[in-house]
Amino acid sequence: MTMILFVALGIIVTLITSGVTGGIVGVLTGLVFVIVTLPFTALAIYDLNCIVMGQCNVWAWIRTTFVVISIIFMIVGLIMALMAAKSSKGDKKEEKIETTTPTITITKSTTP
């Protein structure tokens, strides 16, 4: 119940500040923002409640699946980065770079 009050307060503050800074366009933008982010906020509240209170087996398995998939992506990315670094080490050849010292020539005018 407390979380719902905080979400409602956040929505009201968002709409007021959007209205003050942007007029009617700001209110409409704030309203669109609230509508778009409200499902994600509700999911975050449910997720937090699930972690704290427990008794939500389906969501726990969905969350576990997401975590496992993200870890698999990280491992595959790490392996690909290591393979790319290893293959690029063998491609480097030493190149000699010739440098020349610049010379400055000062000429004086003979006419006054």
The two structure tokens encoding residue 28: 């409409």
Whether residue 44 lies inside any domain: the answer is yes
Contact 29, 37 (CB under 8 A): no
Its pTM surpasses 0.95: no
Report how far residue 63's alpha carbon sits from residue 60's, in angstroms, rounded to the nearest whole number. Answer: 5
Q: pLDDT tier at 72 (50, 70, 90 boundaries)?
A: very high
| CB-based contact 3:45 (threshold 8 Å) | yes
Distance CA 75, CA 69 (A): 10
The boundaries of the domain holding residue 35 are 2-83
Q: Is residue 96 part of a domain?
A: no
Evaluate whether residue 36 is within a structural domain.
yes
pLDDT at 91 over 60: no
Residue 109 resides in a domain: no
